[in-house]
Amino acid sequence: MKKKSSCSAEIVGSIDELLTQILERVPALSLIRSKCVSKQWLSLISDPDFHRRHTFQNPNPKILAFLSPETNQDQKHRPVYVVNPTTNQFRALFPPTLRDDVTRSTLVRYALAFDPSQSPHYKVLCVTNDDDDGGHHDIEIYSSETGEWKHLKTPYFPRERAMHFGWRSRLGAVYCNGAVHWLRSRHEAGLRFGLYGGNGIMGFRREKKTGVLHYFEISQERFLVVSAIPPVPSVVKNIPLKGNEPTTWPNLAQRYFGVCGGRLYLIETYDHCLTQFDVMEMEKDYSGWFVKYQVDLNPLVAAFPGQDCNVFVVLCLFQEEETDYGVEDTSTHLLLHLSGKVISYNLRSKTFRTSVELVNKELALGNHLYLEDVVFPYMETLTCL
């Protein structure tokens, strides 16, 4: 029996096409380790054509880790790096026009556009605007397929609809459905208190500028802007009044802007009620935000006595296939970092579990990240840089 199994394995190993089909289904990190099996495996796994086929075979790899970068504010005269931790490859990029055209008031921001389910290639956007005249934007776009930069002409936006990049918006780009998105004011909630509506009710409202969202369509190479003001969060609307004044002012603690299942999401937490917040979803046509889920983490706080559970970081939203009473369904989960743990919170069932316990607590993220600090999900891929 062992002899027959050994012969079968040798037969499979001797047929490159059959072996390749098997290896295409192996996770990327395991493939990297498998290069040392033999010269034949090394040759197959190192083939760029195999990398492309493996990427299409595994378009939605699981999130393995999160990277929290420390980015220097001044990126004008330095390259930006595209890094693939799985393959230990990186590429340094420097838009050609930045070498001579920047001034002290020029603000430079980068964004990565990559979807392995659509293409094994990626693009890098470099957006610049002048802080003295925020309405002018320049875009350089790099294609990994051609290895070249391309300069694009962009429309002029009036100051009230311009991007107004500041140092706090340096990492705010989100790639979703073939477009890169930026929120204009990621560092502030834009809440104001006073009379609103025709009946003279005192309450909170949003400033119009908080609803400005810019997006760049990759395929059409168009730079567009829409106005979609987020609703006032429940924890803000529920602040009691004393006379005609709120008893506390809602100070923004965190603002998460991300993507899940092809939809944009926005989460805001406030200092006066950190464990309760709304998860807002953007309409497909960009017509506005609506509250998709309401989250109460107090049961989670009770499950970890002795720890400061008010201090957490929203890492990302992700979808997971589940079987409930024999019926397969997809549920949306919220990943949170809390005191050296990564916790998965099911937004539909409101249940939670510890996904990862960090052995080295020094690797844990600090209390909660500052408003504009961002963590990036790292997923296995053999994509060539």
Q: What is the pLDDT of residues 76-96, one digit of tens each?
A: 556 777 877 777 778 888 777
Strand locations in 9-85, DSSP E?
A: 63-67, 80-84
What does the alpha-carbon distance between residue 212 and residue 161 come to, in Å, rounded to a whole number? 7
Mean pLDDT of the 340-367 span: 75
CA atoms within 13 A on the CB side of 335: 22
Q: Which amino acid is present at 66?
A: F
Average pLDDT over residues 4-29: 68
What is the predicted pLDDT for the residue at 50? Answer: 81
Q: Is the pLDDT of residue 365 over 50?
A: yes
pLDDT at residue 359, rounded to an integer = 57
The pLDDT, as a whole number, for residue 170 is 44
Residue 350 pLDDT class (50, 70, 90 cuts): very high
Q: Give the pLDDT band (50/70/90) at residue 69.
A: very low
pLDDT at 293: 95
Q: Which of 110, 106, 283, 143 is nearest to 221 (CA)?
A: 143
CA distance 86 to 50: 15
Residue pair 35/42 in contact (Cβ under 8 Å)? The answer is: yes
Evaluate whether 110 touches 93 at the Cβ level (below 8 Å).
Answer: no
pLDDT reported for residue 158: 60
Secondary structure (3-state) at 135: strand
Q: How far apart are CA 352 and CA 345, in angstroms?
A: 4
Per-residue pLDDT at 294 exceeds 90: yes
Q: How confident is the model at residue 372 (pLDDT cuts 50, 70, 90)?
A: very low
pLDDT at position 314 is 86
String of DSSP letters for 234-254: HHHHT--EETTEESS---EEE
Query: Regarding predicted confidence, which is higher, 377 or 65?
Result: 377
Nearest to 282 by CA among 332, 228, 330: 228
Higher local confidence (pLDDT), 362 or 290: 290
For residue range 109-148, what is the model confidence (pLDDT) as tens digits?
A: 788 888 877 777 888 888 877 655 555 677 889 998 899 9
| pLDDT tens digits for range 313-330 | 888 898 887 656 555 668
Percent of the chain with pLDDT over 90: 16
Identify the band that residue 18 occupies on the pLDDT scale cut at 50, 70 and 90.
confident
Query: How many residues can be counted in the chain?
Result: 385
Nearest to 59 by CA among 35, 24, 22, 110: 24
Q: Check residue 127 and give its pLDDT.
A: 80
Q: What average pLDDT does this structure show over 257-277?
A: 90
Task: Tell me the two tokens of residue 31.
Answer: 């493939």
CA atoms within 13 A of residue 20's CA, in its CB half-sphere: 15
pLDDT bucket at 331, cuts 50 / 70 / 90: confident
Q: Residue range 230-257: average pLDDT?
A: 89
Binned at pLDDT 50, 70 and 90, residue 242 comes out as confident
**Per-residue pLDDT at 134:** 54
Average pLDDT, whole number, for the chain? 76
Pairwise CA distance, residues 314 & 347, whole Å: 13
Contact 217, 149 (CB under 8 A): no
DSSP for residue 32:
H
pLDDT of 325 reads: 58
Residue 108 neighbours by CB under 8 Å, 6+ apart: 75, 76, 98, 102, 126, 127, 128
